Structure 1
């Protein structure tokens, strides 16, 4: 039987894969001349590819309501798989239905833009792939030294150009542009996607909350603690949330980047982040961001608190954290310390001086029902297994290999996948 998160996630998949393209396919099939019956499959493949790419564009705006429903990592996954599926169907379309002239020019140009951006995304955004294939991981690290975060963001916007080219491409094809009901629906879909995309950009421009940097300090090797004062953000996030922030007055830091919030959502308006310098954006923060620097913050994302609340208020909580992945989990543990729920927190880092907020966690562990294990070096599978609690729910934060191995261990020990929550920033 489908459970809490699985129901909305399954419905989302069914909607984007079948419900969205279905009206276009039905209208096309009903209006297509029998003379072109042999070309119908290729035409339908192109229509589905276009509807999936439009949906991917809409998902790239990170709809906040959908994040609270299924989580942003799942949105990223759907976005990525839809894009790859659209490329595959577009390849089939152009193979089955060769064209010429401006029709071929618009279609082929859009196709190769999609392919190029898709390959780039597989290297930079598909964490499940680059963490499994060492060569791709090395290529990614090399490219990150050459191309800045802002370049990658702008490169992805070429997808908008490709979508517009496909729109023109379809308008030029006599076989389909004479099917009036189909063209009305086709244009309406394109217009709706454009409206939703423009709306999201206007919201970013006008609804972003402005603040200033209060302080910044190195709290561990390679880790910067950043305190930001955002008056309008006062207590408006949930424990475990993350936000996208940017520094509009600092070159190289003007595109939004996600960071987990370490501070609790109390009445003060201070957001605290612990940021490890991995990419060009995060490394630049140390030298370029100063006290008083202007910052813009988008509304928060995240599902840790909702995940816990959806599974009852009396089940034990077990937290597995590794390295910088501890940042969203510290406030979760602190927020639930008085809930009466047994909480077990296992936290590991490579070295002892990389254990973030160890003193705060030590004080937290003095509370009744709060159990803490800090360790330099990885926990063994036996240590993780012995930390499990009956009928518990599990939160995981850390590098991708740790997320996979810990989840695999938990499932092998009989934990339902629906009782495990983690939120990577890649798909």
Structure 2
């Protein structure tokens, strides 16, 4: 199978962006231009001890020499970044990959919670450069823990900073109610915020909401066994209840690109030739789910007894 772009980078700088948030500036070890990216993209960072974590690129897509990341101290991977990674260290990255791309629109509403500001930051800059109407509602537990406030200050009253200890929970309902027709909504933050936004957006036009999750969406669906046929070999494998397609094909000796293994990164996207997927990822749009032409095999399952996959 084809491999994603791997890039060896060096940490040019490590800075404190906010309470519990550090910034990394990366450049290619050989000084070459880094792979292109667009707002909403993320990279995989290989951190040692088998840790691979996805971090959104939050710098300038026009800067081909440096990548910038914002990393919240949360979980073993990010704790490793905070405690172990130093300026001058070399790391391996994969990507970039973009499952949260900024689409053209006359107006945008950006909703960011905590470290969810990282993919939103270059989107705001792109919307401003394009002359689009936009507004950002940015919340966090407290002002001292909210990164990039200095950068966002240049946009004036287009940005509303709403720390929870000063204002309470974000007024998502009010922000969405004020959005004019034709507004695209981009939301990234903790799961309760994303779930609330999805519920509030049910009355909006299909496709008006785009979300990105840093952690897996809660899975409450059934987990019955089903069969998967691998088109390249004609082999049929049984995916047992409680086992993923990815685990099953790997155990059968089939190599599949994967990273997060929880439906948030899009690496294991696989074409579906026959059958109906039961989508449980946090990547595909509603239109892509309805099309059924591909699926994330690390978490998604089958709605029937059998799938045929392009593997």
TM, length-normalised to structure 1: 0.46
Counterpart position of 2:225? none
| CA pair 364-380 structure 1, distance change in 2 beyond 3 A | closer
> What CA deviation, in whole Å up to 9, does each residue of 1:164-222 have, x standing for no partner?
xxxxxxxxxxxxxxxxxxxxxxxxxxxxxxxx3xx4xxx35xx4111100111222121
Question: Superposition pairs for residues 24-423 of structure 1, below 5 Å?
Answer: 196=1, 199=2, 203=3, 207-230=5-28, 231-234=31-34, 236-247=36-47, 251-252=48-49, 254-305=50-101, 307-309=102-104, 313=105, 315-365=106-156, 371-377=158-164, 378-411=169-202, 414-423=203-212
Offset from partner CA, 1:217-272 (integer Å, 9 cap, x none): 2221211111111244536111110010114xxx43x5421100111111341111
- SS of 1:379's equivalent? coil
Any unmatched runs of 5+ in structure 2? Answer: 217-280, 282-311
Q: 1:235 to 1:344 in 2, by over 3 A?
A: farther
Deviation at 1:334, TM superposition (A): 0.7
- Is the contact between residue 234 and residue 265 of structure 1 (CA under 8 Å) also seen in structure 2? no
Question: C-alpha displacement at 1:295, in angstroms?
Answer: 1.1
Inter-partner Cα distance in structure 1 for 2:206 and 2:192: 17
Query: Which one has the bigger strand percentage?
Result: 2
Structure with the higher fraction of residues in helix conformation: 1
Tell me the SS of whatever aligns to 2:97.
Answer: coil
Distance in 1 (CA, whole Å) between partners of 2:173 and 2:109 is: 15
* Partners of 2:110 and 2:137 within 8 A in 1: yes
Corresponding pairs, count: 210
Please state whether the residue corresponding to 2:197 is helix, strand or coil.
helix
Partners of 2:61 and 2:129 in 1: CA distance: 16
Residue aligned with 1:256, SS: strand
CA distance 1:293–1:208, shift in 2 (3 Å):
same
CA contact (8 A) 1:260 1:327 kept: yes
Displacement of 1:341: 1.1
What stretches of structure 1 of length at least 5 have no aligned partner?
1-195
RMSD: 2.0
Q: Take 1:232 and 1:336, find their aligned partners in 2: how far apart are those partners? A: 28
1:334·1:364 contact (CA, 8 Å) conserved in 2? no
SS of equivalent residue, structure 1 residue 338: helix
